[in-house]
Structure 1
Amino acid sequence: ASCANCRKWIGGRVVHAMDTTWHPSCFVCWHCDEHLEHVAFYEHEGKPYCHFDYHELFSKRCFHCRTPIVDQRFITINDPELGGENNGGGGERCYHDLHFFCANCGDPFLDPKASGSVRFGGREFVVHKGYPYCEKCHVNLHKPRCKGCKKPIATGDVITALKSKWHPECFCCAFCNKPFESESFFIGKSDGKPYDEACYRIKLRS
């Protein structure tokens, strides 16, 4: 039999690996030349690699720590906004399962004390511009804020008026604080606030 590496005849001891034969001295990592006869190795495109070089060269990398992901358990998030390779690679980012946490507050989405598959199915998260956020941080950081109460408008109806967004219950007369009975309102000339007709007339007289 001939050696898969040097192509020369094997006259003595033979290493059988990857469905072919090798001289023991020729069965080495394709990248660093470490001898692989008695150690674990990985195959890539028909070539053997040591554990370290295989993961350094070919494994996915954790977006948080930038090191190779060796474990079979990892998290992948996709976001079309990521775009090409300059932004993390085609809309996909991978994380070690224990490096997957809110980009703002740092709280983990998976329970670090749990083991195996029990970790999965943890807290919900929202992907915004390629980064994961917990629901609370996502609302506080990325949702529009009500012009009236200054709090985020998380869900439900929203009123757009005076170049701003409002909770329906916050869009009311600035004088009497009562909701508008119709879609019509008056804008104060000095303060730019909304008034119902009766209160606007009072304000004009004051």
Structure 2
Amino acid sequence: MSKFGGAPKCPICNKSVYMSEEVVAEGYKWHKNCFKCSSCNKMLDSSNMAAHRNEGKEVPSLFCSHCHRKTHDIHKIAAPTTAASVGGPNACGRCNKTVYAAEKVVAAGKPWHKSCFNCAECNKKLESTTVTDNEGEIYCKGCYGAKFGPKGFGYGGGAGALTRTQ
């Protein structure tokens, strides 16, 4: 941060950050181009940013959520494996990994990660209004209808009318 009223300095490049180019996080103002993972250089935003404060350093290091989990998630590294951390009652219906409250969507009687909440057939992202399930698997309405809906002549024959053939 600037001490004498000028534009604040970016913690990465130490150049002035003006309003039109600023990203605010962790109490600092960053240039949009400097706001990237310090491990893989992926551009960050509020949905994938994680900060890690190292001892003795005032400015936190920025990471994408993937790199942060890989290098700084102490709970995953130090915690013993339990039924809850590998499957268990909070296991995702798609990947079978633990689903935490911040990423939880419930459908078909089980929890799902938001990133796993997609159609089993076409991989389309689902919402509570577009999800249908069959035997514990989730589908979009189109794929569900094609896979499990009625088949044969007379179904979907047009004008919303079903005809009967003998």
Which TM-score band applies after superposition, normalised by the shorter structure? 0.3 to 0.5
TM-score computed with the length of structure 2 as normaliser: 0.39
> Which one has more relative contact order, counting CA pairs under 8 Å at least 6 apart?
2
